[in-house]
Amino acid sequence: MVTKRQKLEEKETRILAAARDVFVEFGFEKGRMAEIAKRAGVAEGTVYLYYQTKKDLVRAVLEQYWARLTREALEALPEGSNTFDQLQAFARFHLSAFHRDIDYINMNVAARTAHQDFEVPMERVRDYVRVFDQLFERGKDRGEIRTTVPTWVARDMFFGTLEHTARSTLSDDNKDPEAATANLIALFQAGYTDEAPEKTAELAPLVQRLEAAVARLDDLTSS
Amino acid sequence: MVTKRQKLEEKETRILAAARDVFVEFGFEKGRMAEIAKRAGVAEGTVYLYYQTKKDLVRAVLEQYWARLTREALEALPEGSNTFDQLQAFARFHLSAFHRDIDYINMNVAARTAHQDFEVPMERVRDYVRVFDQLFERGKDRGEIRTTVPTWVARDMFFGTLEHTARSTLSDDNKDPEAATANLIALFQAGYTDEAPEKTAELAPLVQRLEAAVARLDDLTSS
DNA sequence: CGACTGGTATGAGGGAAGCTCAGAAATACT
DNA sequence: AGTATTTCTGAGCTTCCCTCATACCAGTCG
């Protein structure tokens, strides 16, 4: 027995799936409401009973997308390794996701720029961004990352670099995306590592040798 | 005496200026061809004699914009200072230009995403990007930047970070853009500096003390 | 079983915007 | 002055998002 509510939800799902396919295939601007209705097997007017505008429809598609991406990201992170390894894994994931889902990304951008009032499903995007924030701040807690670095600065650098790199490597086969992620993490390590202990550790053997030599010298000269 | 050619060019200029104003005020999508024609003082059909489509028109506007930006950037660079200072000056310039010209930037993005076949005036953009490339490669020539870093990797990081930062600082007054540029350049310095001389310099006093001590030791043991 | 009622679906049509094109106007040429 | 050519015009065509009067459907009651 299929309840009335189930039937409605099933139709809503079908419309959303059709919208997703059409927007991915044609993009937001060129994706036609008529085509979405046709693929969902309903009349054009019916679509508007479920989603008030084309904008709302693309928002729903994107909401689904970001939620999925967050799930995938969490799965892609190696457990228990150090912060920079995890950041690198996340960077690799993000870059390849952008390559794979460039249609969604463009849809996102198109919807945002087409309507200055358009709000990307911010909640879902924030969930995704939080994956980075949490990694980074745990790095601070663990003493692996200098606490003086504002997280937002690193975050903007992380996502900005990767988004730009994704587009640039997509249009030029000679560029190796791996070089970009490796570079990003190397710079993070060079610039964000809490260096004090490391430097001390690096110099310690030298200092020890020096002091041992001086001690021997003192011994000899005093005797 | 005004030649026919001059009259035509004057009209073309007027249309372009009107288009620029309208696109800046309303954005690419919401900017109406009718409004552009009205402001240029010509009929709507006339616009299409000079620019075949709305897309061509925005392309011409953007071409002008990028050319102007390149000129301004070159003027903003301090002469003769070291590479990282120049990069920082360029980063500051770029960030504030993005703030000031966010309408142009959005126009650019809107035009690109609205028509998947749209080509931003690549030549002019390349000219602008070359400002960075030249700074960076001169840094390599001078031995200030490690030559193993591919320029494109640093370039994507530079522009990606700044574009993302520009948007994020625009929508959140608590964020200080200066922190972002300073951070970017600090990371570049930490990660890209040709470190060999610096490390040697850092260790020099220690090594000297060590060698002096060894010398004294040798003196004593041989005598 | 038939009438009624509230929710759901339909698709022709409204409105808006980019673009076209037949004819008008301006300019150049003889 | 008359003709040919170039330039300009704006009503109207097309496309697309969205609306709304109408039709359909599934329960419910007499």
Nearest protein residue to nucleotide D19 (CA to C1' distance) is: A45
Strand D bases, protein C-beta under 7 A: 7-12, 16-21, 26-27
Name residue A193's beta-bridge partners: A145
Q: Which of A55-59, A195-199, B67-71 has the lowest mean pLDDT?
A: A195-199
Nearest to A113 among B110, B180, B210 (CB): B110
The pLDDT of residue B118: 64
Domain with CATH 1.10.10.60 in chain A: 1-51
What separation in angstroms does the CA of A38 have from each of A19, A47, A55?
10, 10, 18
The pLDDT of residue A79: 86
Q: B26, B187, B207, B219: best mutation site toward chain A, by most A Cβ within 10 Å?
A: B187
B164, A163: Cβ pair inside 8 Å? Answer: yes
Q: What are phi and psi of A116, to 5 degrees?
A: -65, -20
Mean pLDDT throughout B166-189? Answer: 96
Nearest to B206 among A149, A164, A206 (CB): A206
pLDDT tens digits, one per residue of A7-51: 778 899 999 999 999 999 999 999 999 999 999 999 999 999 999
| Of residues B106 and B209, more confidently modeled | B106
3-state helix, strand, coil in chain A (%, to 5): 80, 0, 20
Q: Six-digit token pair at B10?
A: 């004057």
Q: Nearest to residue B112, comparing CAs of B151, B58, B165?
A: B58
Domain B58-216 fold is Tetracycline Repressor; domain 2 (1.10.357)
CA–C1' A14–C5 (A): 29
Nearest to B113 among A110, A192, A210 (CB): A110
Domain with CATH 1.10.357.10 in chain B: 58-216
**How far B162 CA lies from chain A's nearest CA (Å)?**
7
Q: Six-digit token pair at A94?
A: 């993000």
Provide the Cα torsion A116, A121, A122, A128; round to 10°.
Answer: -130
SS3 of residue B145 by DSSP: strand
Supply the DSSP string of A96-164, one letter for each residue. HHHHHTHHHHHHHHHHHHH-TT----HHHHHHHHHHHHHHHHHHHHTTSB-TTS-HHHHHHHHHHHHHH
Chain B residues whose CB is inside 8 A of the A191 CB are: 183, 186-187, 190-191
CA–C1' B50–D17 (A): 29
Distance between CA A153 and CA A188 in Å, rounded? 12
Helix (H) or strand (E) holding A221: helix A195-222
A157, B179: Cβ pair inside 8 Å? Answer: no
The angle at the Cα of A4, spanning A3 to A6, to the nearest 5 degrees, equals 65
CATH code for A54-216? 1.10.357.10
**How far B6 CA lies from chain A's nearest CA (Å)?**
37
**Per-residue pLDDT band at B112 (split at 50, 70, 90):** confident
| Of residues B110 and B213, more confidently modeled | B110
Nearest protein residue to nucleotide C9 (CA to C1' distance) is: A46
B106, A113: Cβ pair inside 8 Å? Answer: yes
Positive/negative CA dihedral, A57, A59, A60, A66:
positive
Largest interatomic CA distance in chain A: 105
Q: Nearest to residue B178, comparing CAs of B103, B76, B93, B78?
A: B93
A164, B165: Cβ pair inside 8 Å? Answer: no
**How far B93 CA lies from chain A's nearest CA (Å)?**
17
The angle at the Cα of A102, spanning A101 to A106, to the nearest 5 degrees, equals 125
The pLDDT of residue A223: 59
Largest interatomic CA distance in chain B: 104
Q: What are phi and psi of A80, to 5 degrees?
A: 70, -5
Encoded amino acid at B94, one letter: H
Residue B2 has pLDDT above 60, yes or no: no
Q: What is the mean pLDDT of chain B?
A: 89
> In this structure, how many other beta carbons lie within 10 angstroms of the beta carbon of residue B171?
7
Domain with CATH 1.10.357.10 in chain A: 54-216
Q: Six-digit token pair at B91?
A: 């980063």
**Per-residue pLDDT band at B1 (split at 50, 70, 90):** very low
Positive/negative CA dihedral, B119, B120, B126, B127:
positive
Chain B residues whose CB is inside 8 A of the A153 CB are: 165, 179-180, 183
Distance between CA A137 and CA A147 in Å, rounded? 8
Nearest to B113 among A109, A191, A216 (CB): A109
Domain B1-51 fold is Arc Repressor Mutant, subunit A (1.10.10)
